[in-house]
């Protein structure tokens, strides 16, 4: 379980990142600056969300569709722009990849020195915005690499093990930022008065088993027999509670703290499910794996999957180790 911080023990995000990096090298300062830009975009988004219903351009649609063919909400667009603005002229990130942009977005002024790529889902669970429920942002940082061939973005098509940092922001009853850089999972809570993310939970671990299952059961008849049998098993066992908010970040945050399993299986129509690998499944898999949990597509570890394209999808089974293994035992039967 987590260790809750003492009151008055103010470790800021930037200080924590520098401590995690274990040095005061140029790289450590770059990573710390990069995280502080992510936090800045998160604060811009949190502030805008808190004014929903009071100012224009928070609720509703833009009237356009994104690369996934989904209708773009005004907040999807705002949040995407918030990240672009946060990284312009930063010298940190040369390229941004987002759910809302078909192709990588280059910030040419940063490219001579910017060694990193930011991959993100600006607003996860955006259908929750219009009804004032929790939403999130998911992010992942990778080193920019040069790979042979004509396509300069081919280095992005590598497994989730290549992530340097992964995390999410949760805009709930408070705003939280949770991240890992391969040395445990740490959570920060936004102190709105200070305008700073302050360390609230260090070295989070997922319970090895939980009693929450989180899945859209409306799709039950489109799942494989194995998946249906797992859910029948859960129903017949008793002792489980279903919790599904419509925002992946919120549902996985609950599981990180309390244990259990989140599922977005493939369906007959969409065998790869709904969720995207690079900016949803892989970052969350890195977080949950670092916290001692497990993330699988049903066939392989999520972090082992090599995407064929930027917006690839995979099924997702993620959470407490024993719960994920139980699901897999039904799928493999």
Distance of CA 148 to the CA centre of its chain: 29
Q: Which is nearer to Mg ion, 36 or 137 (CB)?
A: 137
In the bound complex, what is the minimum distance in angstroms from residue 196's beta carbon to Mg ion? 26
Q: Which of 120, 121, 168, 263 binds ligand AHM (CB under 6 A)?
A: 121
Whether the CB-CB separation of 280 and 100 falls below 8 Å is answered with no
Query: What does the block give as tokens for 27?
Result: 């790289």
216 binds ligand AHM (CB under 6 A): yes
Site string for ligand AHM, 141-170 (x = CB under 6 A): ------------------------------
Q: Which residues pair with 121 in a beta bridge?
A: 138
Query: Which residue, 230 or 286, is less far from Mg ion as judged by CB?
Result: 286
CB contact at 8 A, 65 and 73: no
Q: Structure tokens of 2?
A: 């987590």
Structure tokens at 118: 């930011």
What letter would DSSP give residue 102? S
310 in Cβ contact with 97 (< 8 Å): yes
Note whether 287 binds ligand AHM by CB under 6 A: no
For residue 126, the minimal CB distance to ligand AHM (Å) is: 5
Both tokens assigned to 161? 């093990």
For the CB of residue 254, give the shortest distance to Mg ion in the complex, in Å.
Answer: 17
Tell me how far apart the alpha carbons of residues 205 and 21 are, in angstroms, rounded to a whole number. 20
**CB within 8 Å of 192: residues ≥ 6 apart:** 175
For ligand AHM, how many residues bind (rule: CB under 6 A)?
11
Q: Identify the residue among 42, 125, 259, 260 touching ligand AHM (CB under 6 A).
A: 125
Shortest gap between Cβ of 203 and ligand AHM (angstroms)?
26
User: Per-residue contact track with ligand AHM, 45 to 74, x per CB under 6 A?
Assistant: -------------------------x----
121 scored as a contact of Mg ion (CB under 5 A): yes
Residue 181 Cα to chain centre, angstroms: 14
Q: What is the chain's length?
A: 333
Residues that bind Mg ion (CB under 5 A): 121, 124
Binding site for ligand AHM (CB under 6 A): 70, 99, 121, 124-126, 216, 246-248, 274
């Amino acid at each position: 379980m987590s260790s809750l911080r003492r009151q008055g023990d103010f470790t800021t995000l930037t200080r924590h990142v520098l401590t995690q990096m274990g040095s005061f090298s140029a790289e450590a300062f770059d990573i710390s600056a990069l995280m502080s830009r992510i936090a800045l975009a998160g604060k811009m988004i949190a502030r805008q969300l808190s004014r929903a219903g009071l100012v224009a351009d928070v609720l509703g649609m833009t009237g356009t569709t994104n690369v996934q063919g989904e209708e773009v909400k005004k907040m999807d667009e705002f949040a995407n722009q918030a990240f672009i603005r946060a990284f312009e002229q930063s010298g940190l990130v040369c390229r941004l990849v987002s759910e809302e942009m078909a192709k990588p977005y280059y910030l040419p002024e940063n490219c001579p020195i910017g060694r990193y790529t930011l991959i993100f889902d600006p607003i996860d669970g955006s259908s929750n915005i219009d009804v004032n429920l929790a939403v999130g942002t998911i992010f992942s940082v990778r080193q920019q690499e040069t790979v042979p061939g004509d396509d300069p973005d081919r280095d992005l098509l590598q497994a989730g093990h290549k992530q340097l940092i992964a995390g999410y922001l949760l805009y709930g009853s408070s705003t939280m930022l949770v991240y890992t850089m391969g040395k445990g999972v740490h959570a920060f809570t936004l102190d709105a008065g200070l305008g700073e993310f302050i360390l609230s939970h260090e070295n989070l671990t997922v319970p090895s088993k939980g009693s929450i299952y989180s899945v859209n059961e409306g799709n039950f008849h489109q799942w494989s027999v194995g998946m249906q049998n797992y859910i029948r098993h859960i129903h017949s066992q008793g002792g489980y509670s279903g919790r599904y908010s419509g925002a992946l970040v919120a549902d996985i945050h609950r599981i990180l703290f309390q244990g259990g399993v989140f599922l977005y299986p493939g369906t007959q129509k969409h065998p790869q499910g709904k969720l995207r690998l690079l900016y949803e499944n892989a970052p969350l898999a890195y977080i949950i794996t670092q916290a001692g949990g497990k993330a699988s597509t049903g066939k392989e570890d999520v972090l082992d999957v090599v995407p064929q394209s930027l917006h690839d999808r995979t099924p997702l089974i993620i959470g407490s180790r024993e719960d994920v293994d139980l699901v897999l035992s039904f799928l493999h039967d």
